Amino acid sequence: MSIIEAFKNTITFIDGIKNEGIIEDYALIGGLALSAWIRPRTTKDIDLVVIVSKDTKWENIASIIETRLHKKIAVMKGTQRTHIKEKLSFMSGQIEVDIISTRGFDLAAEAIKNAVITEVFGKHIKVAVPEYLILLKLLPLSGQDAVDIKALVKKADIKKLKTLAQKHYLLTKLESLS
Protein backbone atom coordinates (compact mmCIF):
# COMPACT_ATOMS: atom_id res chain seq x y z
CA MET A 1 0.00 0.00 0.00
CA SER A 2 1.38 3.42 -0.94
CA ILE A 3 1.53 6.37 1.44
CA ILE A 4 -1.28 7.96 -0.60
CA GLU A 5 -3.56 4.95 -0.10
CA ALA A 6 -2.63 4.68 3.58
CA PHE A 7 -3.29 8.40 4.03
CA LYS A 8 -6.69 8.30 2.30
CA ASN A 9 -7.77 5.22 4.31
CA THR A 10 -6.63 6.80 7.57
CA ILE A 11 -8.37 10.12 6.92
CA THR A 12 -11.59 8.36 5.87
CA PHE A 13 -11.50 6.41 9.15
CA ILE A 14 -10.69 9.49 11.28
CA ASP A 15 -13.45 11.49 9.57
CA GLY A 16 -15.84 8.63 10.37
CA ILE A 17 -15.06 8.59 14.09
CA LYS A 18 -15.26 12.39 14.11
CA ASN A 19 -18.74 12.20 12.57
CA GLU A 20 -19.68 9.70 15.30
CA GLY A 21 -18.56 12.15 17.99
CA ILE A 22 -15.70 9.95 19.23
CA ILE A 23 -13.24 12.73 18.48
CA GLU A 24 -14.10 16.42 18.20
CA ASP A 25 -11.46 17.53 15.71
CA TYR A 26 -8.02 16.72 14.32
CA ALA A 27 -5.19 18.09 12.21
CA LEU A 28 -2.29 16.77 10.19
CA ILE A 29 1.18 17.49 11.56
CA GLY A 30 4.64 16.09 10.82
CA GLY A 31 6.31 15.41 7.50
CA LEU A 32 3.13 15.25 5.41
CA ALA A 33 1.90 18.56 6.83
CA LEU A 34 5.13 20.18 5.66
CA SER A 35 4.14 19.53 2.05
CA ALA A 36 1.32 22.05 2.41
CA TRP A 37 3.89 24.78 3.15
CA ILE A 38 7.27 23.85 1.69
CA ARG A 39 8.76 21.54 -0.89
CA PRO A 40 7.62 18.01 0.01
CA ARG A 41 10.11 15.58 1.49
CA THR A 42 9.87 11.87 1.97
CA THR A 43 8.30 10.68 5.17
CA LYS A 44 7.67 7.27 6.64
CA ASP A 45 4.62 8.06 8.73
CA ILE A 46 1.34 9.92 9.02
CA ASP A 47 1.07 12.11 12.12
CA LEU A 48 -2.27 13.39 13.41
CA VAL A 49 -3.26 15.25 16.56
CA VAL A 50 -6.80 14.71 17.79
CA ILE A 51 -9.13 16.31 20.31
CA VAL A 52 -10.84 13.36 21.96
CA SER A 53 -14.46 13.83 22.99
CA LYS A 54 -14.96 14.22 26.74
CA ASP A 55 -16.93 10.97 26.97
CA THR A 56 -14.31 8.93 25.10
CA LYS A 57 -11.44 7.09 26.78
CA TRP A 58 -8.14 6.79 24.92
CA GLU A 59 -8.27 3.01 25.25
CA ASN A 60 -11.64 3.06 23.45
CA ILE A 61 -10.04 4.68 20.40
CA ALA A 62 -7.38 1.97 20.34
CA SER A 63 -10.09 -0.68 20.59
CA ILE A 64 -12.11 0.92 17.77
CA ILE A 65 -9.06 0.92 15.50
CA GLU A 66 -8.28 -2.70 16.35
CA THR A 67 -11.88 -3.76 15.75
CA ARG A 68 -12.76 -1.72 12.68
CA LEU A 69 -9.42 -1.57 10.89
CA HIS A 70 -8.13 -4.93 12.14
CA LYS A 71 -4.83 -3.32 13.15
CA LYS A 72 -2.52 -4.13 16.02
CA ILE A 73 -2.13 -0.99 18.12
CA ALA A 74 0.81 0.21 20.18
CA VAL A 75 -0.48 2.51 22.93
CA MET A 76 1.88 4.93 24.66
CA LYS A 77 1.11 6.78 27.87
CA GLY A 78 3.25 9.77 28.71
CA THR A 79 4.40 11.05 32.05
CA GLN A 80 4.25 14.45 33.71
CA ARG A 81 7.61 15.20 32.08
CA THR A 82 6.49 14.46 28.52
CA HIS A 83 4.39 16.69 26.32
CA ILE A 84 2.56 13.79 24.71
CA LYS A 85 0.38 12.07 27.29
CA GLU A 86 -1.52 9.71 24.96
CA LYS A 87 -0.33 8.34 21.63
CA LEU A 88 -1.17 5.29 19.60
CA SER A 89 0.48 3.86 16.52
CA PHE A 90 -0.46 1.27 13.93
CA MET A 91 0.73 0.17 10.53
CA SER A 92 -1.26 0.83 7.37
CA GLY A 93 0.58 -1.25 4.80
CA GLN A 94 4.22 -0.17 5.17
CA ILE A 95 3.26 3.23 6.63
CA GLU A 96 3.14 3.96 10.35
CA VAL A 97 0.20 6.06 11.55
CA ASP A 98 0.70 8.01 14.78
CA ILE A 99 -2.33 9.51 16.50
CA ILE A 100 -1.60 11.89 19.35
CA SER A 101 -4.18 13.11 21.86
CA THR A 102 -4.34 16.74 22.90
CA ARG A 103 -5.24 15.78 26.48
CA GLY A 104 -2.65 17.52 28.62
CA PHE A 105 -0.96 18.88 25.49
CA ASP A 106 -2.18 22.46 25.04
CA LEU A 107 0.21 23.25 22.18
CA ALA A 108 -1.30 20.43 20.08
CA ALA A 109 -4.85 21.57 20.89
CA GLU A 110 -3.97 25.09 19.77
CA ALA A 111 -2.40 23.69 16.60
CA ILE A 112 -5.74 22.08 15.72
CA LYS A 113 -7.77 25.19 16.51
CA ASN A 114 -5.49 27.34 14.33
CA ALA A 115 -5.05 24.82 11.50
CA VAL A 116 -6.26 25.56 7.99
CA ILE A 117 -8.15 23.31 5.61
CA THR A 118 -6.13 22.30 2.58
CA GLU A 119 -6.04 19.47 0.09
CA VAL A 120 -3.57 16.65 0.65
CA PHE A 121 -3.64 13.68 -1.73
CA GLY A 122 -7.17 14.59 -2.80
CA LYS A 123 -8.54 14.88 0.76
CA HIS A 124 -9.54 18.20 2.34
CA ILE A 125 -8.22 18.22 5.89
CA LYS A 126 -6.97 20.58 8.55
CA VAL A 127 -3.21 21.07 8.47
CA ALA A 128 -1.22 22.79 11.20
CA VAL A 129 0.11 26.19 10.14
CA PRO A 130 3.89 26.78 9.96
CA GLU A 131 4.15 28.47 13.36
CA TYR A 132 2.63 25.49 15.16
CA LEU A 133 4.51 22.93 13.07
CA ILE A 134 7.73 24.66 14.09
CA LEU A 135 6.82 24.62 17.77
CA LEU A 136 5.78 20.97 17.64
CA LYS A 137 9.07 20.11 15.92
CA LEU A 138 11.02 21.98 18.61
CA LEU A 139 9.86 19.49 21.24
CA PRO A 140 11.84 16.46 20.01
CA LEU A 141 14.22 18.54 17.83
CA SER A 142 15.89 15.78 15.85
CA GLY A 143 18.30 16.59 13.05
CA GLN A 144 15.46 16.32 10.51
CA ASP A 145 13.28 18.55 12.69
CA ALA A 146 15.97 21.27 12.61
CA VAL A 147 16.14 21.03 8.79
CA ASP A 148 12.34 21.21 8.58
CA ILE A 149 12.19 24.20 10.94
CA LYS A 150 14.73 26.16 8.88
CA ALA A 151 12.60 25.63 5.77
CA LEU A 152 9.32 26.41 7.56
CA VAL A 153 10.59 29.65 9.12
CA LYS A 154 10.51 31.19 5.64
CA LYS A 155 6.72 30.64 5.58
CA ALA A 156 6.04 31.64 9.18
CA ASP A 157 4.90 34.92 10.68
CA ILE A 158 8.03 35.49 12.80
CA LYS A 159 6.36 37.85 15.28
CA LYS A 160 3.53 35.37 15.85
CA LEU A 161 6.02 32.48 16.07
CA LYS A 162 8.09 34.22 18.75
CA THR A 163 4.98 35.15 20.74
CA LEU A 164 3.74 31.54 20.63
CA ALA A 165 7.22 30.19 21.43
CA GLN A 166 7.39 32.41 24.50
CA LYS A 167 3.88 31.37 25.59
CA HIS A 168 4.86 27.68 25.37
CA TYR A 169 8.33 28.14 26.93
CA LEU A 170 10.09 27.33 23.65
CA LEU A 171 11.63 30.72 22.77
CA THR A 172 15.14 29.84 23.99
CA LYS A 173 15.07 26.60 22.01
CA LEU A 174 13.81 28.43 18.92
CA GLU A 175 16.47 31.11 19.20
CA SER A 176 19.19 28.47 19.61
CA LEU A 177 18.55 27.42 15.99
CA SER A 178 19.35 30.88 14.60
Pick the CATH number of 3-132 from 3.40.50, 2.20.28, 2.120.10, 3.30.460: 3.30.460
- Flag whether pLDDT at 44 surpasses 90: no
Task: Say what the pTM is.
Answer: 0.93
**Which pLDDT tens digit goes with each residue over 116-149?**
999 988 899 999 999 999 999 999 999 999 999 9
**Which pLDDT tens digit goes with each residue over 59-75?**
999 999 999 999 999 99
Q: What is the pLDDT of residue 39?
A: 85
- DSSP letter for each residue of the chain: --HHHHHHHHHHHHHHHHHTTSEEEEEEEHHHHHTTTS-----SEEEEEEEE-TT--HHHHHHHHHHHH----EEEE--TT-S--EEEEEEETTEEEEEEE-TT-HHHHHHHHT-EEEEETTEEEEE--HHHHHHHHHTT--HHHHHHHHHHGGGS-HHHHHHHHHHTT-HHHHHTT-
Mean pLDDT, rounded, of the chain: 94
Q: What is the pLDDT of residue 103?
A: 93
Q: What is the pLDDT of residue 107?
A: 97
